[in-house]
Structure 1
């Protein structure tokens, strides 16, 4: 909901603050007073491009506009703001545009500079402007399809079709890669297959090369190793070498020393030392056992050629697919998976095409279900909109929602599906009986198109209030020129219809009809006033000029909320152009009769 709109130096508006509330807000005033500038301000904070000439040419001051919106934490706008990195402002979003007299504009969200596109994306989730230019976006086929899908509540059918379409696109991409690049694909598949065969022929295992290099080092240093091990064993336990040594080994001497201490039979003094020597003897025995095994397992020099040959084979693998054997084995597993996807053999292609045909049939079935839901909803939408148009002084006007399925009678030919199904959707508007049925936007005036958009929003809002997912019930709808060519009872009905829409959404309407303004919960009046001497200068909209040599007094636009007696005077002015007793009495009667109880 729009809580507040503040404007500075936009056209004839020097400074204005609109504290809008829930329900319906009417903006009234004389023609040329600058009511459209309020919509321009909303467009600016919604990320619209800057149009030249908006600031007063004399003032040359910075244009500044800010809109404050109240949002729920589970809303799409809040999620987009969070993604943009803004901080939480107690459930409020501040959308700001600052446009200097010279230089580039700045877009801010909650005080932080953001790209203009961020304001556009966020505002699109909250604000719908139905002005002469804005509502033309609804004339696009994409917007019409989205509106019909929301009205049809075909979310499940649309999700099923989207899933089928994505699967179809994925297999089409795989077939295109195989069909369109068969030579390159076959070459790559051949390379992968030959590489896998080469790796499999060697049959490496992780860490094997390091083990072999360690063995090779041992063989190349066999003499030094044998001498060292033999000398160590001779010193520790000569019996391990099958020689009669002239001197006992260290192990024997330590055992003798331990026994000598135990023979003293004074455990309190020598027991601990004897135990230490026995432990040392056990550790030396372990060393002797290990060294003896080294001599038994020692590779012969004859094995060196075999080991070097194996190391060479493994090195060739690691040079191409390494750096380690673990990397080689990982590459081999990945290559096997890739090769299956790149298999362009006739059998593989036939299998993929059969799978593709099955996915295509599934997508067609899902598209037909979606199309059926759209067809059924299209008729209901057209009837409901026609009823609303009749109440909006457009009796005889009608909207035909045409859903043309490209699948009807076309068999299973290619090219009938796209990302959104198999339908061409078009909103065709008949302005009056006998007039041609033309695409929406080409057959209606600005006022007629505004009322058509109001009818669409009313139908969607009615669906929302009856428990369906039509229009959002927390959005902001802004209508401009919706009352063009309307008067009398039709004007009253137009105001009542806007008030009905305001029960489920915030509505802001720019109007010159008292029968419409009287239904509003809040009313602002836009009027012309004189600025201080020498303040912001002339403005083309004001049409004021000062004689040469005189002190300039500019005409500016003033925006004020009216309540009570002031509102009665404004309604009286709109009724009769004056504030006579008769017009004031009529104004009071109109305000009293224009009331819809709020839920």
Structure 2
């Protein structure tokens, strides 16, 4: 619940503290005294849009601070902690909203700066606000359906959740099936092209690195004679002719040099080292000479093999050009195409799977939809009776609320029917949708009757925030109807914290706590100061009710009427 609201620099409010307690709290005061600014401040704490125009003239900014008592295990506490807020040890959560006259606003929750949207999310779990805008929303078929589903109870809401999940899956499956069926021909054409391409790759059967090895072999065969001639020439240069004498061969020259130096090597270690190196050169030249001979013997011209190589390379080149330019590109395409073909071939299997799953989901929708319709029909009767009974207590004795289920012909997002609430405002009047013909006062009472029914019905599945705020719920209401509005608000106050801004003494008399907002003069301007939001009790409360009754708080007859009204409200609870 809300424990306290502190407001500075907002509208006519210079600085004020609004203490709130459990049960029903009434906020009253002269027209223009600042009651609405109290609710404006609360709306800022609840994450509503900030209007720089509400900042008090001469103030750099407006500041609203609220203390909420929060259950640490509640969804509100969880969301706040997710945003980094810290709850006090006693379970209180501090929310602060500032609005600069220049137009910027800031929000803090539990000591941590948060986006405005976070305040709204937390507030949604803590406070329900009812005003004229909410009366307009009550005319919405979706809000009426929500009220009926909530009233129907937890089991019904579980079925509705199951239906909604099935409906969501149904939409996904339908879209997938439509795609599978629509593009089946395209997939078949794509699969055929992939098969043809893979068949060509399989026929040619390229091997990794085959293009490079074929190029090397083709180059050798194409230059076989040149290679053989060069090898023999080099061999001759190293070894010399078979009958050569003297120094005609490289081998003989190196050996001659080694022998010459060897004769004197013993006289100088440096020269001896060179003799060793010449010996190594001789061995190496001799090995190369032998290998050149073997190489020349092995090089053979093979025109048939060369022609086959040219044909194979041409085949591989054509294949490579079709798939990126290289043989590696061909191999990569073949791997990817094989996987694509598997996926495409699974298309028919997937189509069958989707059809089967869609049939199962449709069966779930049919079953859940039938359960929803049956539960709504039963709940519609009970809700209509409960609200009609409440309306009778709100001085609309001849009024009748009807909750009508209108079949939509086929299953929709929320079931097989639309929900329509209709009001017959008086005896003999036709029932009409709430959006047509119901006055503001009648809508106020219907809204209040709905809240009471949802909050008090044993089977209701309403998970209501712990605080209700009513602004102008008594608009267009007076006399006995006003008394009954006050009685119903007090009854709701036994279930939750209720705050009502009212101009009716009949409503204020039922409050457990009565706050009065007044204005004073400061430098010639109207202002609500810290002392101008007062908790009135005893004679002060009687005087305030008398002022509300007659405009004169010192009128003897008004005071007597106020005391009588206060006494009757206590007895009537």
Q: Could you state the TM-score of these two structures normalised by the residue count of structure 2?
A: 0.70
Match of 1:496 among 476, 487, 494: 487
Where do 1:584-595 residues align within 5 Å? 584-595=559-570
2:50 corresponding residue in structure 1:
50
Q: How many residues align?
A: 476
Residue 368 of structure 1: CA displacement?
Answer: 2.1
Q: Give the Cα–Cα distance (whole angstroms) in 2 for the partners of residues 320 and 135 of structure 1.
A: 73
2:397 corresponding residue in structure 1:
395
Q: Is the aligned partner of 1:455 residue 2:449?
A: yes
1:78 corresponding residue in structure 2:
77
Match of 1:336 among 327, 337, 342: 342
1:417 corresponding residue in structure 2:
411
Where do 1:208-357 residues align within 5 Å? 336=342, 339-341=345-347, 343=348, 352-353=354-355, 356-357=358-359
Q: Is the 8 A contact 1:192 1:336 kept in 2?
A: no
Q: Give the 3-state SS of the residue equivalent to 1:422 in structure 2.
A: strand
Q: Give the 3-state SS of the residue equivalent to 2:398 in structure 1.
A: coil
Moved more, 24-33 or 68-77: 68-77
Q: Is the 8 A contact 1:24 1:521 kept in 2?
A: yes
The change in CA–CA distance for 1:348 and 1:121 in structure 2 (over 3 A counts) is: closer
The change in CA–CA distance for 1:584 and 1:196 in structure 2 (over 3 A counts) is: farther
Residue 87 of structure 1: CA displacement?
Answer: 2.4
Match of 1:579 among 554, 559, 562: 554
Q: Give the 3-state SS of the residue equivalent to 1:594 in structure 2.
A: helix
The change in CA–CA distance for 1:174 and 1:555 in structure 2 (over 3 A counts) is: same
Q: Give the Cα–Cα distance (whole angstroms) in 2 for the partners of residues 72 and 195 of structure 1.
A: 67
Any idea what the Cα deviations from partners look like across 1:132-165, whole Å, max 9, x if unmatched? Answer: 1233223222222222111112123213322432
The change in CA–CA distance for 1:441 and 1:73 in structure 2 (over 3 A counts) is: farther
1:559 corresponding residue in structure 2:
533
Q: Is the 8 A contact 2:407 2:416 kept in 1?
A: yes
The change in CA–CA distance for 1:399 and 1:49 in structure 2 (over 3 A counts) is: same
Residue 331 of structure 1: CA displacement?
Answer: 9.5
Q: Give the Cα–Cα distance (whole angstroms) in 2 for the partners of residues 86 and 8 of structure 1.
A: 26
1:484 corresponding residue in structure 2:
475
1:517 corresponding residue in structure 2:
508
1:145 corresponding residue in structure 2:
145
Q: Give the 3-state SS of the residue equivalent to 2:5 in structure 1.
A: strand
The change in CA–CA distance for 1:110 and 1:197 in structure 2 (over 3 A counts) is: farther
Q: Is the 8 A contact 1:318 1:328 kept in 2?
A: no
Q: Is the aligned partner of 1:61 residue 2:55?
A: no
2:169 corresponding residue in structure 1:
167
The change in CA–CA distance for 1:103 and 1:479 in structure 2 (over 3 A counts) is: closer
Q: Is the 8 A contact 1:4 1:67 kept in 2?
A: yes
Q: Give the 3-state SS of the residue equivalent to 2:415 in structure 1.
A: coil
Unmatched segments (≥5 aa) in structure 1: 211-304, 408-415, 534-552
Residue 26 of structure 1: CA displacement?
Answer: 0.3
Q: Is the 8 A contact 2:440 2:476 kept in 1?
A: no
Q: Give the Cα–Cα distance (whole angstroms) in 2 for the partners of residues 17 and 483 of structure 1.
A: 25
Moved more, 502-511 or 443-452: 443-452
Q: Give the Cα–Cα distance (whole angstroms) in 1 for the partners of residues 540 and 414 of structure 2.
A: 53
1:239 corresponding residue in structure 2:
none
Q: Give the Cα–Cα distance (whole angstroms) in 1 for the partners of residues 127 and 473 of structure 2.
A: 17
Residue 381 of structure 1: CA displacement?
Answer: 0.8
1:105 corresponding residue in structure 2:
105
Match of 2:85 among 84, 87, 95: 87
Q: Give the Cα–Cα distance (whole angstroms) in 2 for the partners of residues 321 and 134 of structure 1.
A: 71
Q: Is the 8 A contact 2:208 2:327 kept in 1?
A: no
Q: Give the Cα–Cα distance (whole angstroms) in 2 for the partners of residues 426 and 447 of structure 1.
A: 20
The change in CA–CA distance for 1:209 and 1:512 in structure 2 (over 3 A counts) is: same
Residue 511 of structure 1: CA displacement?
Answer: 1.4
Match of 1:181 among 180, 183, 188: 183
Moved more, 367-376 or 484-493: 484-493
Q: Give the Cα–Cα distance (whole angstroms) in 2 for the partners of residues 106 and 74 of structure 1.
A: 27
Q: Is the aligned partner of 1:432 residue 2:426?
A: yes
Q: Give the Cα–Cα distance (whole angstroms) in 2 for the partners of residues 31 and 376 of structure 1.
A: 45
Q: Give the Cα–Cα distance (whole angstroms) in 2 for the partners of residues 163 and 319 of structure 1.
A: 50
1:229 corresponding residue in structure 2:
none
Q: Which has the higher helix share?
A: 2
Q: Give the Cα–Cα distance (whole angstroms) in 1 for the partners of residues 543 and 455 of structure 2.
A: 33
Q: Is the 8 A contact 2:86 2:111 kept in 1?
A: no
Where do 1:528-539 residues align within 5 Å? 528-531=519-522, 533=523
Larger Rg: 2
Any idea what the Cα deviations from partners look like across 1:284-306, whole Å, max 9, x if unmatched? Answer: xxxxxxxxxxxxxxxxxxxxx9x
Residue 597 of structure 1: CA displacement?
Answer: 11
Residue 589 of structure 1: CA displacement?
Answer: 4.2
Residue 101 of structure 1: CA displacement?
Answer: 1.0
The change in CA–CA distance for 1:48 and 1:377 in structure 2 (over 3 A counts) is: same
Q: Is the 8 A contact 1:393 1:486 kept in 2?
A: no
Q: Give the Cα–Cα distance (whole angstroms) in 2 for the partners of residues 200 and 376 of structure 1.
A: 69
Q: Is the 8 A contact 1:568 1:587 kept in 2?
A: yes
